[in-house]
Chains A and B, each alone.
Chain A
Amino acid sequence: MCRIGAIKSKAPVHPSQALRLMMPQQEGHDNSGFAMVMQDLGGLFAPYPDLPLLSLACTQKGTQLVEDYMEARNFHRVFEWVPKPKRRTGQDIKAMPHYIFRCYDYPEQYAKAAWEEKQELLLDARLELRSLLEQQQAGYVYSFWPNVLTLKEIGKPHDIADYFRLWEDNGELQAKNIVVQCRQNTNYEVVRYAAHPFFLQGYTLCANGENTFFTRNRDFQRSLHRGYIGFESDSQNFLYTLHYVLHVLKWPVQYYKHVITPLPAAEMEGRKDGDALRLIRQSLAHLEINGPNTVIAMLPDGSLLSCCDGKKLRPVVIGGDAATKVITSEVCGLNAVLPRRKTEEDVYPHEREVVIITPDLEVQRWLQ
């Protein structure tokens, strides 16, 4: 079982907080990787909130491929953070030769383009880079989006953090929102792309569980959007459905839950939106999920969202104080980062609940 977590804070926090959240949850766990998506960045990236930030791990050849591609597409490099690895003998990390965290300015022809147009440009660029790097076996691109940084690596989470100096809060790397997970895929092959959180056009998601409708979700999603690719993990199903419901269909956020775990027909009757719920269930039957799952997602506006499968077969807890809110798998992690919070205000959502933490840290609980 994966352990997943997310921190949302009024002031930017350092990734070491995310590590402290996850470390107590490692009991009985294979600790095979570390992956996080940071959004609403502070530190070194604070001056560039509007510039797309490329997060990438690659070989020497990969760096050249990326340089050439970005130059050919008229993306102009504005800022770069190069991690200075701390190498020690015995470290358990399968590091890549190069890590790129680079802010670009948009091509000139996009100077006055609408945000909708830029979103498509950024997605296309990431997909093309991924394809390019895959063909040459030269690296992995995780996100290319303003104010979003993704780091993923294979190995022991403690050692990976050590390698990237994530334990040292020197003010360089900070964010108001961090979604984190400390494991590689254990069901199937260990592939860097298979580690959640996954990111697509402002939507970040990680999931703890096993989606037994993976095949039918995948078969349907493949034709829905060009960005729904990979399928290295069944958790990607959850992200793509979130993106489809909110970004493509532009439905209110609570309908995500209605799509992945629809109500029984009898319960739809009598609802104000019962007819709509029936149509949604009919049309998106192939996006329904099954099996044990808990989802933690981050939305483009920085809201955090959590919900579970229809039978609540995986744990999750939400807690916090006035400045910080946390969603995570096990309460021991919450206790490690927020020991003085009011535990009586912790929320253990049930199978019909959707919990949303808004940008101003209000915890909303919606009953499906």
Chain B
Amino acid sequence: MAPVMAQDVTVNDLPWLLEYSPERCQMCGKCLAVCTFQAIEAATERRLASPGGGNAPAYRLAPVIRQSGKLAEACVGCGMCAKVCPNRAIRPVRNPDSRSELLVRSGGLPAKRGGRNNLLKGRTLDEIVVGRISQMTDPALDSERHTFDIRAPFGRVLGAGALPLAAEGGLLQVTGKTPPVRWIYPVIFGDMSVGALSPRAWEAICLATAYLNEVHHLPVRMCTGEGGLPPGLLRSEHLQYMILQIASGHFGWNRIIAAMPEMQTDPAGILIKIGQGAKPGDGGLLPAVKVAEHIRAIRGVPKADLLSPPNHQGLYSIEESVQKMHLSMGAAFGFRVPVAIKCAASSTSVSVYNNLLRDPYQICGGFFLDGIQGGTGAANTVSLEHTGHPLVSKVRECYLAAVNQGRQGQVPLWAGGGIGMTGQAAADAFKLICLGANGVFIAKLLIQLCGCVGNENGRCNACHTGRCPVGICTQDPRLIRRLDVDKAAQNIVDYMLAFDSELRKLMAPVGNSSLPVGRSDALVSVDKAVADALAIAYAC
């Protein structure tokens, strides 16, 4: 008998166990074929055939399906095996006694994964309800019959006193230049790069964006993430729906700049990414395994881990950031395109926002606050789990800082990071808008609509491996084919149409036909501490 060593890793140490019913299994091998993590193996096991009558018992060889015990092949709980099994003979179950957190650092390197924070439990937004309903003193609106004006600003808004207006013949006319402002749908499809996502997944979101705009007239915008965009899109009319992101690695921007003379239209905006809610203080990370040929072409890079620095190099102050980055990005497009900034929510968010509000160039066209519950394609686990700031109170504080200066709405506030975690993004968006956000940005929800099975209970979260079982966060051509791009786009479109209806269902009972930005009186919290922190009413 082989000796058992205490350090040996076995199936029981892994985070997921495969529950397998041999009596239901027909040995078709589909589960093996579908598992991208090699977590399932086909083997033969020696079994007792019969106790036997003589001295030697009889054995037989039994073909079996079983879980790999190797850490590198650990089941991630994606459930693809269960999805393909014709007899429901196999499914992953959580292992409460997993030792995997102790084992994954065995190479001496920080643990990495994708997904979003798994440790933080509870959601502030679920402690808040829309408590101010129109009842008799004013009539509620009819969400099906009345018209609603659901638009949000993206761009720097001037105070009324600074507007270059003069009355001519009783009509006000604009007599000078003002910063560009786009009025768009209060949801932006957020920053997932063409490298983090597979071409099909990225295309599905593009398709959904265009379809929502052109067929349903919902002016939804999509942010590219850091990594550029395909040359054809850069030179097409559809660029008008895209917000181009520039982050500390500047990936993709040499191609964007080269395409500028051939652009048919201006992009919807520019988003300067300073930080990301899921991994604040860490730069972007695209593992080499996902740097496929088309990624190398778009970004102009070799096949290697692509690490964006944690900070924009050469900037040492916020004033510099405004002068160098905002002005140069604004100038690049003739000051016709709004330039906004995205930061990870932080204890310092209000200071940043105040600086942007008071910036003498009046150039920052939006402050995107990304909370700790945002997702990522790859991050150091320690960053993902232990750094960041909850979103809701920070949005509120920023809004109230603007209120104190009478500057609310001048630098539009966009909130993201965990929007739609429960699947109910419209409610999350409505509550954040009442607290002072102008709109929200969503990302993880979109890939979940495409088929991503990852969640914040440790399921899958393998976006960094390049082995995404649903063809979304991978560049492996065989895996990409698992994603039906049209169906994925359709799911997003359907969700957004439902979102739009649900938003009306929340606006109508509070008697509002336009977005109730800052209407905190519409909300109550059933948690006193939350109510106090957000300066809304407590109810019990």
Interface residues of A (CB under 8 A from B): 187, 209-210, 212-216, 219-220, 222-224, 244, 248-249, 251-252, 254-255, 264-265, 272-273, 275-280, 282-286, 288, 290-292, 310-311, 313
Contacts and interface: CB of A to CB of B under 8 A. Distances in A.
Interface string B126-137: 000000001001
Nearest to A288: B514
Given A276-B173, A276-B174, A212 B510 contact: yes
B406 A210 contact: no
Given A215-B519, A215-B521, A283-B157, A220 B406 contact: yes
A219 B97 CA distance: 53
Contacts of A277: 172
Contacts of B409: 282-283, 285-286
B172 A210 contact: no
A311 B148 CA distance: 11
A194 to B, nearest CB: 15
B138 A212 contact: yes
A232 to B, nearest CB: 15
Given A210-B138, A212-B134, A219-B403, A279 B511 contact: no
B183 A283 contact: no
Contact of B160 (A212, A216, A249, A288): A249
Interface string B167-207: 10011111000100101000000000000000000000000
Interface of B: 134, 137-139, 141, 146-147, 149, 151, 153, 157-161, 163, 165, 167, 170-174, 178, 181, 183, 403-406, 408-409, 510-514, 516-521
Nearest first, the 5 A-B pairs at minimum CB distance are A223-B406, A210-B138, A276-B172, A215-B521, A212-B511
Contact of A264 (B149, B165, B173, B511): B149
Given A212-B516, A275-B173, A291-B511, 17 more contacts: A187-B137, A213-B516, A216-B516, A216-B519, A223-B405, A224-B406, A249-B161, A265-B183, A272-B171, A276-B165, A276-B171, A276-B174, A279-B158, A280-B163, A282-B157, A286-B409, A290-B512
Contact of B521 (A214, A222, A291): A214
Contacts of A265: 149, 151, 183
Given A223-B404, A291-B511, A273 B171 contact: yes
Nearest to B405: A223
Contacts of A224: 406
Contacts of B513: 290, 310-311
B467 to A, nearest CB: 46
10 contacts: A215-B520, A216-B518, A220-B403, A273-B173, A276-B174, A280-B163, A283-B158, A285-B517, A311-B513, A313-B138
B138 A209 contact: yes
A279 B134 contact: no
A215 B510 CA distance: 13
Contacts of A219: 403, 408, 518
Contacts of B147: 264
A264 B146 CA distance: 13
Nearest to A249: B160
Given A215-B519, A276-B173, A282 B181 contact: yes
B344 to A, nearest CB: 27
A34 to B, nearest CB: 22
Contacts of B146: 311
Nearest to A253: B170
Contacts of A223: 403-406
B167 A251 contact: yes
B29 to A, nearest CB: 58
Contacts of A220: 403, 406, 408
Nearest to B183: A265
Nearest to A271: B171
Contacts of A288: 514
B50 to A, nearest CB: 81
Given A212-B512, A272-B171, A291-B511, A283 B518 contact: no
A292 B139 contact: yes
Nearest to A310: B513
B160 to A, nearest CB: 4
A308 B74 CA distance: 66
Contacts of B151: 265
B149 A279 contact: no
A286 B408 contact: yes
B512 A213 contact: yes
A323 to B, nearest CB: 28
B137 A213 contact: no
B516 A292 contact: no
Given A213-B519, A216-B516, A280 B172 contact: yes
Given A219-B518, A273-B171, A279 B163 contact: yes
B236 to A, nearest CB: 24
Given A216-B518, A288-B514, A279 B178 contact: yes
A291 B406 contact: no
A33 B170 CA distance: 39
Nearest to A285: B409
Given A265-B183, A275-B174, A276-B165, A283 B517 contact: no
Contacts of B518: 215-216, 219, 286
A257 to B, nearest CB: 13
Contacts of B514: 288, 290
B139 A313 contact: yes
Given A216-B519, A223-B406, A290-B513, A284 B183 contact: no
